[in-house]
């Protein structure tokens, strides 16, 4: 985590907490906190999202609240800065949970969400040939599917962004936003927009937001599994460790999680070398680091 990323996380935590302190909902705090990170271009979300192998930036996001179990999500959305806001609009303005692809992009344009260029600005985008070192199965498949070259962007150490919150009414919320992973086949969707995998929130159990390799998170349904364990009486730390251990031992997965319980107990846990994250209860300075 760079110093500028740490500063951005600190600012996002302060914005989210001050919203809660003024009586805003957990849902609004989660959306606005994630929005700061999407806007920054410093993380793999919003302006900083990875591009897929055809050079197009397609993003995923979801948000959920724990009182009514309402949720909204978008997948493979293009051309906007704040997919998390599009996800909330799906939740509040439609009877659906998930919109995908070009219709999701048109939906976001209808509500006049902030636009961004189709291609990343300010990042090096380069054409390359396949190498044995770079996900050869995916690259070979993509090359077989198309007659053109492929477009890659140098990896910049960026992560999916997410947040969990608890408000004064006792309602929890969770959200996540991502640009996916390096070397994605066009149309690839990970765990982030899938309720129960990338996020889950229930006032009975708690709220969870995930980051990591989405394919593994989907196969274990990690967010719901953690919440189920919270409901059975596990602490956030115990539930997070147990499910991430299962992810590693069963399918050699890699992930990190944010977990908050209805009584305010929380955990930040990961089975990756690092995970930039932080928390704040309004006292002192926010805690931000990349190992927990």
Catalytic site positions: 160
Q: Which residues contact 33 (CB under 8 A, 6 or more apart)?
A: 12, 13, 15, 16, 163, 165
Nearest to 175 by CA among 65, 261, 77: 65
E strands, 83-225, are: 98-100, 125-128, 150-153, 161-166, 172-178, 199-202, 206-212
Helix/strand/coil for 30: helix
- Residue 62 DSSP one-character state: E
Helix, coil or strand: residue 185: coil
Taking the C-alpha atoms of 181, 216, 40 and 121 in order, what is their torsion angle to the nearest 10 degrees? 10
**E strands along 39-138, which residues?**
59-65, 71-77, 98-100, 125-128
CA distance 217 to 189: 12
Find residue 157's DSSP bridge partners: none
Nearest to 259 by CA among 205, 186, 193: 205
Residues whose CB falls within 8 Å of the CB of residue 222, separated by 6 or more in sequence, listed in order: 191, 197, 208, 210, 243, 244, 247, 255, 257
3-state class percentages of the chain: helix first, strand second, coil last, to nearest 5: 35, 25, 40
């Amino acid at each position: 985590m760079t110093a500028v990323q740490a500063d951005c996380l600190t600012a996002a935590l302060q914005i989210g907490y001050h919203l809660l302190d003024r009586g805003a909902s957990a849902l609004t705090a989660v959306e606005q906190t994630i929005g700061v990170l999407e806007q920054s271009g410093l993380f793999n979300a919003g302006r900083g999202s990875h591009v897929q192998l055809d050079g197009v930036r397609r993003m995923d996001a979801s948000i959920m609240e724990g009182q009514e179990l309402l949720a909204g999500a978008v997948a493979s959305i293009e051309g906007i800065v704040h997919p998390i806001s599009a996800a909330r609009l799906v939740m509040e303005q439609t009877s659906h949970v998930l919109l995908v692809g070009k219709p999701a992009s048109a939906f976001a344009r209808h509500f006049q969400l902030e636009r961004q260029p189709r291609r990343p600005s300010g990042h090096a985008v380069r054409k390359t040939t396949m190498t044995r070192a770079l996900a050869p199965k995916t690259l070979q498949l993509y090359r077989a599917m198309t007659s053109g070259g492929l477009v890659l962007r140098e990896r910049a150490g960026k992560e999916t962004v997410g947040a969990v919150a608890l408000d004064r009414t006792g309602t929890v919320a969770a959200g996540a936003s991502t640009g996916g992973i390096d070397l994605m086949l066009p149309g690839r969707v990970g765990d982030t927009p899938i309720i129960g995998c990338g996020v889950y929130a229930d006032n009975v159990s708690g709220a969870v937001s995930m980051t990591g390799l989405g394919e593994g998170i989907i196969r274990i349904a990690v967010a719901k599994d953690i919440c189920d364990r919270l409901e059975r009486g596990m602490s956030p730390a115990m539930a997070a460790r147990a499910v991430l251990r299962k992810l590693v031992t069963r399918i050699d997965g890699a992930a990190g999680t944010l977990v908050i319980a209805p009584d305010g107990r929380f955990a930040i846990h990961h089975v990756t070398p690092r995970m930039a994250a932080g928390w704040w209860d309004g006292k002192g300075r926010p805690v931000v680091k990349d190992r927990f």
